Structure 1
Amino acid sequence: MVDPVQEIKSKLGIVELVSDYVQLKKAGAYFKGLSPFTNEKTPSFYVSPQKDIAFCFSTNQGGDIFTFYQLVENCNFQEALKDLALRTGVNIETMKMPTSKDIEKKNRVFDLQEYLSKIFQKELSKSKDNLNYLRQRGIKDSVIKEFDLGLCNMDSKVYVDLLSKKGFSQQEMIDSGSFSDKAGYLECKFKDRLMIPISDSRGNVIAFGGRKLLESQKAKYLNSPETFIYKKNQTLYGFDKAKERIRETKTVILVEGYFDQIACYQNGFKNTVAVCGTALTENQVKLLSRFAERFVFCLDNDKAGKRAIANTSEIIAKFTDQIYIMNLGEFKDPADCFNEDPSVFVESMRNPLNLISFYQALYLPEKKITQNNTKSLQDFLESVFKILFILSDEIISEIWIREIADLLDLPKQKLLSKYSSFRKNQKVEVDTVKSAKFDLKIGDYLALLVYSDIDNLQEYKSLILDNFNYLKEIEFFNLLKTNEFDLFKINLKFLDVKLMELELKGLNFEKLDLRVEIEKCFSRISSQYKKQRIAEIQRQLSRNDNKNNLELLKELQNLMKK
């Protein structure tokens, strides 16, 4: 089932919508302008393309595209939904909002895919030939197990019967995308294929990739179709395993295929994800930018891979200027490189090309300007200028143009003049964000930390419950407990607004070691709560009429021991 709200959001960005009402200026990672909700001379209205929210700090109003539209057009949610659906071409008549039944349906399919994956794994463990095939590709047994690789080699009826015994209906099997209905007979789509489970960022199996085993099979890889739990433009293979290493290194390596990602991971480059195609989408880049500041391409060394890098770099530049490209020389992809000569990959990762060198190699490999390649020069400069304009940083522009002048032996001033002419044809202006002081209570700070590390929420669940007496007044923790930590039931957009406000004041949560900060907060909270409780018990014991002295004394004694 398609969620109309998410469908509209995927087609209409917050910056695009707000620009119809507010003249926006680039301000670092944000856009800013005069508030549409009040008369002001100094801009207090900010838009975050990463978080998809807009907020006016002078009136304390804002939110996502629907909230903003309701505020600016003075309409209700249903009217906003209808208007924005019309604008984006989304047919809401055929859709409906997700209910608790929809959420239950989603969880059932998660469970089905997980169980099916276990069946495939067991099947592979009994197939010596297919295990040997993977070993010959250089994949270790421990990695085969860690990535839950499997085999689909049995008759479809066997899978259907096994799932039926586990309580799953035939409709749920069809909904998973792993089965198709052939005139009342369910057929598994991946017969005679090696199975690669595809997981979401929380590790739920949402789809499969199947690598052919028979020469008679036309498609080398067969992937699950899009379903209500699997959206290709929002999914990156291996992200669930790579995200912590990406967070630690602030770097993500982008490869093309499943086995490229597995090869990189096995050889110590655990901050690698596969795009499973050739082009990253803005949704995928937005997800990665929450963890990474540095993007390193290592796509297949062919025309399609190079074209994808050129196209995708313009998307990444909305989030960072740290874009690099690895060159594996004669090797087509990382998997081949690791099997033949791993040192080439290591050296290429150590010294990747920057975008200028990449575009130069793409358009002007001879590094010389002649009357025969002026068109190539124009293509080269336009590609670089597009990136510089998106980055909107005067210092970076100065550095890049100086590098181009030295590289191609061109006058720097003429390049600056050409870039200035290019910019005049664009709409966005450059500005900067000034930082200010910030003040947070420890419980509110902890809420924002946990929200920033929401993918690892289950790791903090017991700590939250143990300290809930101290945290119960904080809306975030109250919502978590009330909804049994089920994030599908909770709207936490209000925290995005607070994060944006604090980032504008100079506190960037993405640069914090979240685990360390969270542990410190819980330690302080536990200590504060203990002190407060000891003082409270001592006050109660000072009253002679207290009938619960024995219980209070025991509690006090336990607290004093900690």
Structure 2
Amino acid sequence: MDRSLIDQIRQANDIVEVVQSYVPLKRTGSNWRGICPFHNDTRPSMHVSQPKQIFKCFACGKGGNVFTFVQDYEKLSFIETVKKLAARVGIVVPDRHKTQVVSTKRQKLLAVYKSAGEFFADNLFSYGQSTLEYLAKRQISAETAKELQLGYALASRRSLANHLLKENYSVDLLKESGLFRDSGGSMNDLFWDRLMFPIHNSNGDVVAFGGRNMGEGESFKYMNSPSTELYTKGNELYGLHKTKYNISKKGYSLIAEGYFDYLRLYESGFDNVACPLGTALTLEQIYLLNRFAQKVVMLYDADNAGVKAAVRGGLICLSKGMHVHQAILPKGEDPDSFLLKHSKEDLQKIIDEAPALISYMATSEEVEESTEERIQLLLDALRELSDPIRKELLVRDISEAFGVSQNALFSSMQRGGARRQRQEPEETVYQSSPKGMETEKMVIILGLKDRESYNLLANELSVDYFNNKTMRKLFSLLTEVLPNQESFDPAALLDEIDNDEIKNSLAELLFEDLEDVKLVSMIRDLKLHKMERDIAELDNEINANPNNLDLLKKKEKLTLEYRKMTKKVVRKLFF
């Protein structure tokens, strides 16, 4: 979508008016305050600035612009949010999927997949009688098949190719779609005589297909589309586009393994389920789930492979701060087979009583690892956590579940972290002192004030002057985006940030006003802090190489520059 159109939509939606349509606000001075909807707020902790068009909760840390608020409140994608707010103010967003001329290759491929999905769905009810009978035998209703857009790929190996060519799609585009095989110069369908499952992205676009063999000759029972410009295996979750709102509403997602587990659960009224498409749960899928709810219940097959996959996926979820529970089905069952024998209420009871992952790993006989190995797996996951309070609470839970002291667990976690740092060296970023960190923040705040201040900041400094990781990332973002803006609008930077931590930090800085602080002074202080770090680093190198004359000369030169700069500061202060 064109950047100028996005800016127009954001500027047309006053943040106070929009937020007030979700949460009552009360004016306090130049700002507005209200109960924050993003955590269990007991007093008005969320501030909304009309002049700056941003919001910030000073309790949970959430912040951003009008797009951020609506996107997080309604659990929408960014594009969905832009379209919703455009409709609110009567701005027409061109729907390129419905136009005759489709401008990009991605949009052309989306149109191909949409047409293919409709073709397969029509085939199921026109020519797929045996497939419908198979679904009926599996107790999947025609209504569910229609709602989930299930389809049938005809036994002919050219039926889809012929259909799409009649729709005027080019041969080159069809070859790029991943839906065909080149067989001796002939373009044959990838899927034939298969029950088809359309795979949607979270926006509801068809981006791939899965197919179950309905014939006797094929060696592969299930087959998925290859990776394309639209689809990367491990990035999408089957059925999430249908259940994301209910996941958010219920506060947790059910994660099952296969297509028929999803169909059975959905048919039975479990409308908060998603499936990882035959792969181990990936980080990308976990980030996707985390947009809608921070709790997951792993509902995998009750066999060795299912237990391993559930624990592996659960540990990754745990490492990203999610609340993970393990539903325990009777041995040998899966969600599909269980619901064919038992009621919805029976499964709901299992879900409600699902133990937390830590408790499950401490007590389950199905987990193959030894007690020590189980603890180590959990500690490895906890090392990834950025929230120190949650980390400490989970260490306490491990201590209670396994009967090991918290001191021993923390000690083991630190040793493991040190080992990993030796194995995987990272770029050195020295610890920020509180004073240095505050200076870096103030420099960014002042640089966001107006175009002149930003130009001074960009001309005088580089990312190397910033020691704090978040401030380094923010400075890089400012210097990348702001020079290209027609009008100086720092709040628009929030649209460019996917990382919530960085976005919340920027919102906090945008809220600050430093009327009596001069940017020139702050830049000078930042340069002094950089020199202090450089001198300290040289001292370490000299200690390791005391006879290195180049290092000694470099330190002498840098120390002289530092003294000159500090003398200038003293002279300005006292004379």
Go from structure 1 to structure 2 and tell me whether the alpha carbon gap of 1:378 and 1:506 turns closer, same or farther (over 3 Å shift). farther
Q: Deviation digits for residues 126-181 of structure 1, max 9, x if unmatched?
A: 33322121022121211100111111124233332222221112222222111112
CA distance in 1, matches of 2:124, 2:345: 31
Go from structure 1 to structure 2 and tell me whether the alpha carbon gap of 1:500 and 1:306 turns closer, same or farther (over 3 Å shift). same
CA distance in 1, matches of 2:311, 2:265: 23
Equivalences for residues 6-155 of structure 1 within 5 A: 104-126=104-126, 127-155=128-156
> Partner of 1:353 in structure 2?
355
Q: Deviation digits for residues 327-348 of structure 1, max 9, x if unmatched?
A: 1113532111111113442111
> Partner of 1:460 in structure 2?
none
Query: TM-score when scaled to structure 1?
Result: 0.55
Q: Deviation digits for residues 39-79 of structure 1, max 9, x if unmatched?
A: xxxxxxxxx9xx9xxxxxxxxxxxxxxxxxxxxxxxxxxxx
Q: Deviation digits for residues 6-49 of structure 1, max 9, x if unmatched?
A: xxxxxxxxxxxxxxxxxxxxxxxxxxxxxxxxxxxxxxxxxx9x
Q: Deviation digits for residues 321-373 of structure 1, max 9, x if unmatched?
A: 411111111353211111111344211111112112222245797xxxxxxx9
Indicate conservation of the 8 Å contact 2:178/2:226, yes or no.
yes
Go from structure 1 to structure 2 and tell me whether the alpha carbon gap of 1:474 and 1:424 turns closer, same or farther (over 3 Å shift). closer
CA distance in 2, matches of 1:285, 1:259: 21
Go from structure 1 to structure 2 and tell me whether the alpha carbon gap of 1:340 and 1:154 turns closer, same or farther (over 3 Å shift). same
Question: How many Å apart are 1:271 and its aligned residue?
Answer: 1.5
Go from structure 1 to structure 2 and tell me whether the alpha carbon gap of 1:393 and 1:217 turns closer, same or farther (over 3 Å shift). same
Question: How many Å apart are 1:313 and its aligned residue?
Answer: 3.2
Question: How many Å apart are 1:225 and its aligned residue?
Answer: 1.0
Go from structure 1 to structure 2 and tell me whether the alpha carbon gap of 1:278 and 1:362 turns closer, same or farther (over 3 Å shift). farther
> Partner of 2:553 in structure 1?
none
- Which piece of structure 1 moves more, 202-211 or 301-310? 301-310
SS at match of 1:308: helix
Indicate conservation of the 8 Å contact 1:313/1:387, yes or no.
no
CA distance in 2, matches of 1:392, 1:119: 47
SS at match of 1:159: helix
Go from structure 1 to structure 2 and tell me whether the alpha carbon gap of 1:412 and 1:208 turns closer, same or farther (over 3 Å shift). closer
CA distance in 2, matches of 1:335, 1:327: 14
> Partner of 1:493 in structure 2?
496
Go from structure 1 to structure 2 and tell me whether the alpha carbon gap of 1:403 and 1:243 turns closer, same or farther (over 3 Å shift). closer
> Partner of 2:566 in structure 1?
none
Q: Deviation digits for residues 353-401 of structure 1, max 9, x if unmatched?
A: 2112222245797xxxxxxx9x822102212222333335555555545
CA distance in 2, matches of 1:281, 1:315: 8
Q: What is the aligned residue count?
A: 356
CA distance in 2, matches of 1:277, 1:353: 24
Question: How many Å apart are 1:201 and its aligned residue?
Answer: 1.6
Question: How many Å apart are 1:492 and its aligned residue?
Answer: 3.9
Indicate conservation of the 8 Å contact 1:233/1:283, yes or no.
yes
> Partner of 1:309 in structure 2?
310
Indicate conservation of the 8 Å contact 2:210/2:224, yes or no.
yes
CA distance in 2, matches of 1:161, 1:173: 11
> Partner of 1:293 in structure 2?
294
Q: Considering only CA atoms, is the larger Rg found in Structure 1 or Structure 2?
A: 2
> Partner of 1:250 in structure 2?
251
- Which piece of structure 1 moves more, 388-397 or 352-361? 388-397
CA distance in 1, matches of 2:497, 2:376: 40
Go from structure 1 to structure 2 and tell me whether the alpha carbon gap of 1:347 and 1:165 turns closer, same or farther (over 3 Å shift). same
SS at match of 2:237: coil
> Partner of 1:29 in structure 2?
none
Question: How many Å apart are 1:418 and its aligned residue?
Answer: 4.9
Equivalences for residues 229-378 of structure 1 within 5 A: 229-341=230-342, 342-361=344-363, 376-378=370-372
CA distance in 2, matches of 1:379, 1:234: 29
> Partner of 2:7 in structure 1?
none
Q: Unpaired segments of 5 or more residues in structure 2? A: 1-60, 65-100, 439-486, 512-575
> Partner of 2:470 in structure 1?
none
> Partner of 2:384 in structure 1?
390
Aligned: 1:167 with 2:174: no
AA aligned opposite 1:380: R
Go from structure 1 to structure 2 and tell me whether the alpha carbon gap of 1:476 and 1:415 turns closer, same or farther (over 3 Å shift). closer
CA distance in 1, matches of 2:400, 2:208: 49
> Partner of 1:380 in structure 2?
374
SS at match of 2:104: helix
Question: How many Å apart are 1:235 and its aligned residue?
Answer: 1.3
Question: How many Å apart are 1:243 and its aligned residue?
Answer: 1.5
Indicate conservation of the 8 Å contact 1:195/1:208, yes or no.
yes
SS at match of 1:320: coil
Go from structure 1 to structure 2 and tell me whether the alpha carbon gap of 1:476 and 1:225 turns closer, same or farther (over 3 Å shift). farther
Query: TM-score when scaled to structure 2?
Result: 0.54
Go from structure 1 to structure 2 and tell me whether the alpha carbon gap of 1:181 and 1:398 turns closer, same or farther (over 3 Å shift). closer
> Partner of 1:535 in structure 2?
none
Indicate conservation of the 8 Å contact 1:363/1:379, yes or no.
no
Alignment RMSD (CA, Å): 4.1
Indicate conservation of the 8 Å contact 1:364/1:376, yes or no.
no
Indicate conservation of the 8 Å contact 1:331/1:337, yes or no.
no
Go from structure 1 to structure 2 and tell me whether the alpha carbon gap of 1:360 and 1:506 turns closer, same or farther (over 3 Å shift). farther
CA distance in 2, matches of 1:503, 1:475: 13
Question: How many Å apart are 1:268 and its aligned residue?
Answer: 2.0
Indicate conservation of the 8 Å contact 1:192/1:212, yes or no.
yes
Indicate conservation of the 8 Å contact 1:198/1:237, yes or no.
yes
Indicate conservation of the 8 Å contact 1:328/1:344, yes or no.
no
Indicate conservation of the 8 Å contact 2:234/2:279, yes or no.
no
Go from structure 1 to structure 2 and tell me whether the alpha carbon gap of 1:165 and 1:361 turns closer, same or farther (over 3 Å shift). same
Question: How many Å apart are 1:297 and its aligned residue?
Answer: 1.1
CA distance in 2, matches of 1:243, 1:225: 25
CA distance in 2, matches of 1:175, 1:237: 23
